[in-house]
Structure 1
Amino acid sequence: MTSTMPTASLSIDQRTGIRHLMDLAFLGGFDDDDFDHALGGLHFLVEEHGTLVAHAAVVQRSFLHGGRAYRCGYVEAVAVHPDRRGQGFAAAVMSAAESVIDRAYDLGALSASAAGRGLYVARGWLPWLGRTAVLAPDGLTFTAEDDDSTFVRPVPGGPVLDRTGTLTCDYRNGDVW
């Protein structure tokens, strides 16, 4: 069963457990900036016998597209314990995250690793076909390295997205997408 809680309600042990899961799942490739990106929104957790086995987070970001700013539910820190993969846990946390995105945001977005791409495509996430950019401290900066890993989730009643256009995210430390 998936539980949902805001970052502010996480205990120190839960935050430590999430970070530990990320380190296990990403083989040490999950840094402090990545962890910071997952904080400040909602967390979707699956625990078995008191052990965290899956996690996803949705944080609010501001995206620009087609001359407008949009409230985006951005998916972060999706992970399943390596010993528990292939049992539907990623689908469980993503289902909970998508439900929130569909009800609270103008669109959903995420950056997919090569390993995670199949999960998101199977769930109906759409690859961004145009250019990606960030509104950085020095102005608009194109992020060609993120063009192929960016996915969006149009929400019911949300804006019509031209997936061949430019999608611009707000700036943050570390990986901007």
Structure 2
Amino acid sequence: MTAPPALTACHTADLAAADLAAVRALLDAAFPDDFDDDDFEHGLGGWHALVHDGDRLVAHGSVVRRQFLLAGRPLPVGYVENVAVAATHRRRGLGGLVMAELERVVAAGHGVGFLGASDDGAALYAVRGWPVWRGPLSVLTPAGVRRTPDEDGGVRVFDPAGTLDLDADLVCEWRAGDVW
């Protein structure tokens, strides 16, 4: 009888080069047409939830600190990045296992969380209680605030205290690659 997949959690600084390579390989396989170096970098520098089946990494997600503006006021957030489950291990609850750990980190360390959901991931986040952000989304670029209407409906929020106005203007900071 094999042991069930095991979750571990750690900071990026505690991941060995081989661990990072395994994360990158998992993400490349999960998003074959839409994942690049910028996307990978977005998930570094924070907390990782990793699920191994034996020696093989089969699920991953991370949460990093970001700074947003909510209705013009600063809002530090935990931003969930790089959530993926190996194709051979989907529909077994591993995405939920990863998200439970990331939600714990967000609630304890950041207060609120956000993520940009893929079409495939949207159902997982909806069932876990991450509603869609309804307000206008923008990015603070070096040239000023610029609307990102293509992202409307794709950003989700985790607000355990229930204090955020989901219809307010939300602005993220500029970064290379996908800003949301």
What TM-score bracket applies, with the shorter chain setting the length? over 0.9
Aligned with 1:173 (options 140, 155, 176): 176
2:71, 2:30 → 1: CA distance? Answer: 36
- In structure 2, how many angstroms separate the alpha carbons of the residues matched to 1:65 and 1:131? 10
Distance across 1 between alignment mates of 2:55 and 2:33 = 23
Q: Residues 24-103 of structure 1: matches in 2 within 5 Å?
A: 24-103=29-108
Structure 2 stretches lacking a partner, 5+ long: 1-5
CA contact (8 A) 1:18 1:55 kept: yes
Larger displacement relative to structure 2 (106-115 or 118-127):
106-115
Please provide the CA RMSD for this pair: 1.0
Q: Which amino acid aligns with 2:112?
A: L
Does residue 165 of structure 2 align to residue 162 of structure 1? yes
**Count of equivalent residues:** 175
* Distance across 1 between alignment mates of 2:59 and 2:25: 11
TM-score of the two chains, using structure 1 as the length reference: 0.96
Q: In structure 2, the residue corresponding to 1:126 is in which secondary structure?
A: coil
Q: One-letter code of the match for 1:175?
A: D
Could you state the TM-score of these two structures normalised by the residue count of structure 2? 0.94
User: Structure 1, residues 35-61: CA drift from partner, whole Å, max 9, x if none?
Assistant: 000000011000011100000000000
1:167 maps to amino acid? L
For each residue in 1:64-96, what CA deviation from the matched residue of structure 2 results, as whole angstroms up to 9, or x when unmatched? 102311110000000000111000110000000
Separation in structure 2 between the aligned mates of residue 96 and residue 136 of structure 1, nearest angstrom? 32
**Deviation, structure 1 residue 27:** 1.8
Unmatched tracts of structure 1, length 5 or more: none
% identity of equivalent residues: 42
Letter in 2 for 1:129: R
Moved more, 65-74 or 7-16: 65-74
- Structure 1 runs (4+) greater than 3 angstroms displaced: none
Q: 1:68 and 1:78 mapped to 2: Cα distance?
A: 28
Conserved 8 A contact 1:75-1:110: yes
The residue that corresponds to 2:3 in the other structure is none
Q: Secondary structure at the match of 1:173?
A: coil
* Equivalent residue, structure 2, for 1:148: 153
